[in-house]
Amino acid sequence: MGKKDFYWGASTSAFQVEGGFGEGGKGVATTDVRNVPDGIADSKIASDHYYHMLEDIALMEELGINLYRFSFNWTRVMGEGMEPNQEGIQFYNQLIDACIGKGITPFPTLYHFEMPQAFVTAFGGWKSRECVDRFVDYAEVCFQNFGDRVKLWGTINEQLIVSAASDLNGNHETDVDEKMKQMYQMSYHMSLAEKKAIQRFREIVKDGKIGPVCSMQVVYPESPSPENILASKNAEDFLQNCFLDMSMNGEYPKSYSNYLHTKGWFPKTKPEDRLILKSNKPDIIGINYYCSTCIRAVEKGEDTSKLPPFYRNELFTLGNNPHLVKTKWMEFGIDPEGLYIGMRAIYEKYKLPMIVTENGLAFSDVLEDGTVHDDYRIDYLNQHIKQCERFIEEGYPLLGYSPWSLLDLVSSHQGFKKRYGLIYVDRTDTDVKECRRIPKDSYYWYQKKIKENY
What is the helix (H) or strand (E) element at residue 79, kind and residue range? Answer: none
CA distance 247 to 285: 9
At 318, the amino acid letter reads L
Burial tier of 309 (Cβ tally within 10 Å: 0-12, 13-18, 19+)? buried
* Catalytic option among 158, 194, 236, 358: 358
What is the helix (H) or strand (E) element at residue 374, kind and residue range? Answer: none
- Exposure string (b/e) for 360-378, b if CB count within 10 Å is 16 or more? bbbbebeeeeeebebeebb
358 an active-site residue?
Answer: yes
CA distance 172 to 395: 46
Residue whose C-alpha is closest to residue 258's, from 236, 238, 279, 231: 238
368 strand-pairing partners: 371
CA distance 16 to 45: 9
Residue whose C-alpha is closest to residue 380's, from 285, 293, 446: 446
317-318: strand order across its sheet:
219-221, 293-296, 317-318
CA distance 51 to 163: 31
How do beta strands 317-318 and 293-296 pair? antiparallel
C-alpha distances in Å from residue 319, one per residue of 138, 150, 161, 280, 339: 41, 42, 20, 37, 19
Tell me which residues are annotated as active site: 358
